[in-house]
């Protein structure tokens, strides 16, 4: 069992039990120990439940509990950590946009920090194209650490963690940023545990500022990691004064991408690491047809209550296929179970901005119109000439959607 | 688990008044005061007319603080009208003295509440919004705390990635300041048998904020109406408040003990706005905000015993409202103060002490004076008007007995639907215009929003009862809901809970008592900013 982050001085413990009340995680309990004090009980700590919050230290009136300053990887020679790293997530050799957004931010942080820090991108994968590293350099990376290893061909958290942890140990970055994507979220937390430092997820603001360390009193350049807390009611600024690196994730589209400069110069360092072998094998990639992101399409074919049944969505799907778009729907269709919620457009669904929005049998309540305000061209078909959808449509057809859709399909199939 | 001295459920005027009075009068050793509210921010779920009787602020706020109240205008000109039909009405030649509110501030209660929260926070109250308190914790018959609702549950009850478990808060005293038809309050009243002489009776208040062209209206002008479009048997009235030169608040309150199942209060509200004597107040205007809530107007005899071991009930939750003037804000503030004083006095019987202090407030005395007014109106308009006059002139001495009426509760008053009347009602609709938006557009302007991927918070206890209700009453929920939450789709009752305004009309008026209003995820619901 791991050593507990707190220590109880049995000689000083009076058995009052105040620490048990003070602990928010139920890690403390009282056990009988006749003769230890008047009450005959002492406090014991369950190391696995203790979160080192030190509330018990404050709760104990007899100063019998103290924090154990643990020797943690990365606490020594904090000065030796320097660079600002960005994890460059890639899929099939294409770097995710969030990495470019973070590179632009990293350049700002570098300017705030000074002291000759470099902005470095970490690129992991197998058979990585040269274009990926070039794109990273053009968008602000001074150095690209490239690990091209067959073990990294398919994403598996353990192997990625191993690679990043080895790089951290070798090059000692001061800050590492990653996108809060499905991949970033899953493996970055594990990296933080592996290198024994903190991690702030979903930051909305980042800056480097000279800050006084509360423990040592020394002035340090620290990364201020700001994120909403308590359901967005307050903004919490979190710092990592005693451990390195300082790690944070940021959701895509929070920061702005910079303009890439193809003339920018940078170094690519190919790292040959001895990585653990992946324990899983990717057999096949299957896309969930309902997990579609309708906001990404230029053409949306949308159906509403006027479609009268789930079977008519097949017609809509055919029409969408012919137009090179996707099927979306109004809320009534989700409620009726004709269409999955992932395809819903409107206030409680998705906000979309396609070039062409075709809607059939949608009356156009304001809750729906809110979701299509960004659409370039709206073509509406509805049986009711007074439907509000005609107020926003560029082209309106008064008629039964179920007659017009097959006619359109027929015409397009020619 | 969090421990505190006082836990206040609901950051409305009553709850915040409790917090302010507690911290202001505590002296050296300030108690820890935690206030929780289910709205996204303070005031999000607060709605009122409102011309506020300023007596509530006295000795709660300092004169400087009263000076800075976000008051939109002061009443400069008031009128009183009795409407008989859309076109035929009569201006009452003088404003009845008991109804006069000249010089009173016209406010947006949402803004006033946010202001009170600022003062309370400065004094040290901890106010957390976005957390619904869903359960009281009891130990040996005494309320010892409360639990907040879980957040981040999926439609099917699974825990999503943003799941937040329930949190228990222990407190020496819990103050329920939930407002009208509060869920925990009602549950407590039922469990501990605290009900007053008769059940609470409510009115549904619907309100819009209309922007009008500059230079057409005067700030501070107010008008109250009674009568049409309410029928003879139903207590109903409207108001028009000019809060500024360009903004008008228009509202309509309709008593929920109405009998005719075909009635749709929202439709009545639209009809009310179409009367020439009303619509001239917002000619050329455009609706910009909307909201609805219930008003507990049962008055004196409907007030429950407002305490139980470990818990006090303040404000609208305890039915503290002057049912003649339909004003409750000042009594809410006074009850909050009384609760705070009782908590600080810390006698063995805090509850009894609170009730005694509450009975000494002028708000309580007003309620006593007009105690028979609401019940008299249930016999028809003329009786009500007469009772109001008599009560006022004789300081509530006549009638000396309790007028029976409203004894059955609102839901029981509903009579079976007459289908051809329903068809006639539906045909008689008002033409759409910028100040006559349809119901869904209005709902949009309330800002209400609920995460769709969560369990539906409006639970039908027995679907068979809905089928029976459709036959007998024609699903009145599809009409009395001011937010189009309930829709009949063939045999099936569709519930669009994300439209919900948290007004709770459905749980009050459902003739089968078949709707269980539970709490949606904290932070969801309307987002009023200037209601």
Please report whether residue B175 resides in a domain.
yes
Nearest chain B residue (CA) to A331: B496
- Say if residues A103 and A194 touch (Cβ distance below 8 Å): no
* The pair of three-digit structure tokens given for residue A401, joined into one six-digit string: 């959607």
How close A12 comes to chain B (CA, Å)? Answer: 26
First to last CA, chain B: 35
Whether B489 contacts chain A with CB within 8 A: yes
Nearest chain A residue (CA) to B39: A233
Contacts of A282 (CB under 8 A, 6+ apart): A154
Do A331 and B494 lie within an 8 Å CB cutoff?
no
Domain count, chain B: 1
Do A6-67 and A78-270 have matching folds?
Answer: no
Assign domain A6-67 to its CATH architecture: 2-Layer Sandwich (3.30)
Residues from chain B contacting residue A24 (CB–CB below 8 Å):
1
The SS3 call for residue A282 is: coil
Average pLDDT for A318-331 = 94
Domain ranges of chain A: 6-67, 78-270, 294-413
CATH classification for the domain delimited by A78-270, as one of 3.30.160.270, 1.20.120.1200, 3.20.20.70, 3.40.50.620: 3.40.50.620
- Say if residues B480 and B383 touch (Cβ distance below 8 Å): no
What does each C-alpha distance from B396 to A191, B322, B356 come to in angstroms? Answer: 75, 13, 20
Chains A and B form CB pairs within 8 A to the count of: 41
pLDDT digits (tens, 9 = 90+) for A18-72: 898 888 888 898 998 888 888 888 999 888 888 878 888 888 988 899 887 655 5
Q: Which pLDDT value is given to residue B436?
A: 95
Residue A133 has pLDDT above 60, yes or no: yes
Chain Cα centroid distance, residue A225:
14
Q: Which pLDDT value is given to residue B135?
A: 95
pLDDT digits (tens, 9 = 90+) for A212-263: 887 777 888 899 999 887 656 678 899 998 888 999 999 887 888 889 999 9
pTM of the model: 0.76
How close B128 comes to chain A (CA, Å)? Answer: 8
Do A348 and B128 lie within an 8 Å CB cutoff?
no
Output phi, psi for B89, to 5 deg.
-145, 170
Q: Which pLDDT value is given to residue B239?
A: 96
Whether B352 contacts chain A with CB within 8 A: no
Please report whether residue B157 resides in a domain.
yes
Domain hosting B117: range is: 2-66+110-198+300-369
**CATH number, residue B124:** 3.50.50.60
Please report whether residue B155 resides in a domain.
yes
Residue A148 has pLDDT above 90, yes or no: yes
Helical H runs in A202-355? 312-323, 331-336
Q: Which pLDDT value is given to residue A1?
A: 44
Rounded distance between C-alpha atoms, residue A129 and residue A138, angstroms: 15
Q: H or E segment at B502?
A: none
Rounded distance between C-alpha atoms, residue A382 and residue A401, angstroms: 7
CATH classification for the domain delimited by A294-413, as one of 3.20.20.70, 1.10.30.50, 3.40.50.720, 3.40.50.1220: 3.40.50.1220
pLDDT tens digits in sequence order for chain B, 531 residues long: 889 999 999 999 999 999 999 999 998 889 999 999 999 999 999 999 899 999 999 889 999 999 999 988 999 999 999 898 888 888 988 887 778 898 999 999 999 999 999 999 999 999 999 999 999 999 999 999 999 999 999 999 999 888 889 999 999 999 999 999 999 999 999 999 999 999 999 999 999 999 999 988 999 999 999 888 988 888 889 999 999 999 999 999 999 999 999 999 999 999 999 999 999 999 999 999 999 999 999 999 999 999 999 999 999 999 999 988 899 999 999 999 999 999 999 999 999 999 999 999 999 999 998 888 888 888 877 888 888 888 778 877 777 788 777 788 899 999 999 999 999 988 888 888 999 999 999 999 999 999 988 999 999 999 999 999 999 999 999 999 999 999 998 888 999 999 999 999 999 999 999 999 999 999 999 999 999
**DSSP state, B442?**
H
How close A24 comes to chain B (CA, Å)? Answer: 7
Nearest chain B residue (CA) to A367: B444
Do A366 and B449 lie within an 8 Å CB cutoff?
no
- Say if residues B180 and B317 touch (Cβ distance below 8 Å): yes
Do A366 and B440 lie within an 8 Å CB cutoff?
yes
Measuring CA to CA, which residue among B84, B383, B369, B326 is closest to residue B201?
Answer: B326
Q: Which pLDDT value is given to residue B96?
A: 79
Rounded distance between C-alpha atoms, residue B29 and residue A400, angstroms: 73
What does each C-alpha distance from A221 to A98, A142, B447 come to in angstroms? Answer: 25, 21, 43
Please report whether residue B191 resides in a domain.
yes
How close B490 comes to chain A (CA, Å)? Answer: 12
Please report whether residue B480 resides in a domain.
no
**DSSP string for residues in B503-526:** --HHHHH-TT--EEE---STT-B-
Please report whether residue B265 resides in a domain.
no
Helical H runs in B327-436? 329-345, 350-359, 362-369, 373-377, 381-393, 419-427
Contacts of A355 (CB under 8 A, 6+ apart): A298, A299, A375, A376, A377
Q: Which pLDDT value is given to residue B426?
A: 84
Identify which of B130, B441, B450 has the shortest CB distance to residue A231.
B130
Residue A74 has pLDDT above 60, yes or no: no
Whether B496 contacts chain A with CB within 8 A: yes
Do A232 and B130 lie within an 8 Å CB cutoff?
yes
Residues from chain B contacting residue A189 (CB–CB below 8 Å):
none
The CA-based angle A77-A79-A84, given to 5 degrees, is 120
Is the N-terminal amide bond of A245 cis, ω within 30° of 0? yes
Do A366 and B444 lie within an 8 Å CB cutoff?
yes
Identify which of B41, B128, B489 has the shortest CB distance to residue A230.
B128
Rounded distance between C-alpha atoms, residue A13 and residue A27, angstroms: 16
pLDDT digits (tens, 9 = 90+) for A326-383: 999 999 999 888 999 899 998 888 888 899 999 999 999 988 998 898 899 999 999 9
Residues from chain A contacting residue B444 (CB–CB below 8 Å):
347, 365-367, 370
Identify which of A334, A336, A348 has the shortest CB distance to residue B449.
A348
Whether B456 contacts chain A with CB within 8 A: no
Residues from chain B contacting residue A231 (CB–CB below 8 Å):
130-131, 151, 164, 522-523
How close B495 comes to chain A (CA, Å)? Answer: 9
Rounded distance between C-alpha atoms, residue B335 and residue B343, angstroms: 12
Q: Report strand pairing: B515-517 vs B458-460.
A: antiparallel
Share of chain A above pLDDT 90, in %: 54
* C-beta atoms surrounding A349 within 10 Å: 22
Nearest chain B residue (CA) to A25: B1
Per-window interface: B 1-20 vs A, CB < 8 A: 1, 3
Residue with the two structure tokens 């706005």: B273
Measuring CA to CA, which residue among B481, B446, B440, B71 is closest to residue B288?
Answer: B446
* The pair of three-digit structure tokens given for residue A219, joined into one six-digit string: 């002035």
């Amino acid at each position: 069992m791991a050593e507990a982050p707190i220590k109880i001085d049995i000689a000083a413990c009076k058995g009052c039990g105040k620490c048990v009340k003070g602990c928010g995680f139920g890690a403390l309990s009282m056990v009988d120990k006749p003769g230890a004090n008047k009450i005959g009980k002492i406090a014991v700590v369950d190391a696995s439940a203790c979160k080192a919050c030190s509330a018990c230290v404050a709760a104990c009136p007899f100063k019998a509990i103290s924090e154990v300053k643990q020797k943690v990887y990365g606490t020594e020679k904090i000065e030796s950590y320097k660079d600002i790293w960005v994890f460059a997530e890639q899929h099939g050799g294409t770097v995710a946009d969030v990495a470019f957004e973070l590179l632009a931010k990293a350049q700002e942080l570098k300017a705030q920090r000074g002291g000759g820090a470099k902005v470095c991108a970490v690129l992991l994968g197998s058979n990585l194209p040269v274009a990926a590293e070039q794109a990273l350099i053009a968008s602000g990376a001074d150095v690209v650490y490239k690990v091209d290893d067959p073990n990294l061909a398919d994403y598996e958290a353990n192997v990625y963690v191993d690679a990043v942890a080895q790089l951290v140990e070798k090059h000692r970055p001061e800050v590492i940023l990653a996108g809060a994507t499905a991949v970033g979220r899953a493996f970055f937390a594990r990296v933080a545990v592996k290198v024994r430092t903190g991690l702030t997820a979903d930051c909305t603001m980042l800056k480097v500022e000279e800050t006084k360390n509360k423990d040592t009193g020394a002035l340090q350049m620290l990364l201020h990691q700001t994120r909403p807390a308590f359901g967005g009611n307050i903004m919490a600024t979190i710092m990592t004064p005693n451990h390195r690196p300082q790690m944070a994730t940021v959701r895509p589209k929070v920061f702005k991408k910079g303009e890439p400069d193809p003339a920018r110069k940078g170094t690519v360092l190919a790292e040959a690491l001895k990585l653990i072998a992946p324990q899983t094998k990717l057999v096949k990639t299957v896309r969930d047809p309902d997990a579609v992101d309708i906001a990404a399409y230029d053409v949306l074919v949308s159906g509403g209550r006027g479609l009268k049944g789930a079977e008519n969505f097949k017609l809509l799907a055919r029409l969408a296929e012919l137009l090179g778009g996707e099927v979306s729907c109004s809320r009534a269709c989700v409620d009726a179970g004709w269409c999955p919620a992932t395809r819903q457009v409107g206030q409680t669904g998705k906000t979309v901005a396609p070039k062409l929005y075709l809607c059939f049998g949608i009356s156009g309540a304001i809750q729906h119109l809110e979701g299509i305000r960004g659409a370039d061209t709206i073509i509406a078909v509805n049986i009711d000439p007074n439907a509000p959808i005609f107020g926003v449509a560029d082209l309106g057809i008064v008629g039964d959607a179920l007659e017009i859709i097959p006619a359109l399909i027929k015409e397009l199939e020619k | 688990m969090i421990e505190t001295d006082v836990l206040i459920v609901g950051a409305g005027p009553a709850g915040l008044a409790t917090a302010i009075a507690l911290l202001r009068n505590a002296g050296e050793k300030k108690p820890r005061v935690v206030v929780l509210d289910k709205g996204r921010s303070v005031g999000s779920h607060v709605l009122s007319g409102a011309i506020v009787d300023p007596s509530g602020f006295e000795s709660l706020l300092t004169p400087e603080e009263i000076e800075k109240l976000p008051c939109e205008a002061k009443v400069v000109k008031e009128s009183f009208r009795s409407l008989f039909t859309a076109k035929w009405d009569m201006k009452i030649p003088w404003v009845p003295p008991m109804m006069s509110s000249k010089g009173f501030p016209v406010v947006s209660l949402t803004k006033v509440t946010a202001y009170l929260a600022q003062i309370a926070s400065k004094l040290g109250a901890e106010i957390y919004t976005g957390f619904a308190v869903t359960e009281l914790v009891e130990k040996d018959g005494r309320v010892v705390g409360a639990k907040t609702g879980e957040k981040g549950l999926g439609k099917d009850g699974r825990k999503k990635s943003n799941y937040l478990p329930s949190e228990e808060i222990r407190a020496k005293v819990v103050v329920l300041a939930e407002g009208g038809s509060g869920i925990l309050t009602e549950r407590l009243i039922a469990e501990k048998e605290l009900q007053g002489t008769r059940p609470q009776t409510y009115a549904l208040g619907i309100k819009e904020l209309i922007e009008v062209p500059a230079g057409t209206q005067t700030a501070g002008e107010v008008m109250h109406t009674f009568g049409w479009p309410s029928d003879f048997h139903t207590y109903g009235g409207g108001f028009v408040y000019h809060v500024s030169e360009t903004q008008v608040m228009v509202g309509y309150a309709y008593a929920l003990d109405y009998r005719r199942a075909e009635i749709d209060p929202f439709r009545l509200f639209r009809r009310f706005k179409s009367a020439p004597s009303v619509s001239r107040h917002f000619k050329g205007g455009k609706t910009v905000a909307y909201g609805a809530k219930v008003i507990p107007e049962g008055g004196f005899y409907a007030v429950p015993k407002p305490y139980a071991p470990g818990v006090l009930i303040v404000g609208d939750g305890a039915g503290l409202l002057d049912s003649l003037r339909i004003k409750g804000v000042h009594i809410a503030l006074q009850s909050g103060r009384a609760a705070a004083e009782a908590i600080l006095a810390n006698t063995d019987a805090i509850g009894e002490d609170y009730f005694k202090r509450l009975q000494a407030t002028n708000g309580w005395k007003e309620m006593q004076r007009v105690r028979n007014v609401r019940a008299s109106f249930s016999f028809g308009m003329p009786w009500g008007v007469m009772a109001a006059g008599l009560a006022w002139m004789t300081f509530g001495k006549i009638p000396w007995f309790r007028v029976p009426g409203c004894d059955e509760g609102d839901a029981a008053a509903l009579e079976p639907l007459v289908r051809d009347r329903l068809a006639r009602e539906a045909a008689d609709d008002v033409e759409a215009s910028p100040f006559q938006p349809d119901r869904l557009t209005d709902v949009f302007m309330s800002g209400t929003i609920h995460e769709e991927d969560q369990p539906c918070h409006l639970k039908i206890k027995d679907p068979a009862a809905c089928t029976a209700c459709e036959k007998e009453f024609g699903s009145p929920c599809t009409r009395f809901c001011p937010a189009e939450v309930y829709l009949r789709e063939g045999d099936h009752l569709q519930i669009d809970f994300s439209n919900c305004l948290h007004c709770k009309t459905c749980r009050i008026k459902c003739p089968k008592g078949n709707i269980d209003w539970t709490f949606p995820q904290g932070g969801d619901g309307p987002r009023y900013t200037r209601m």
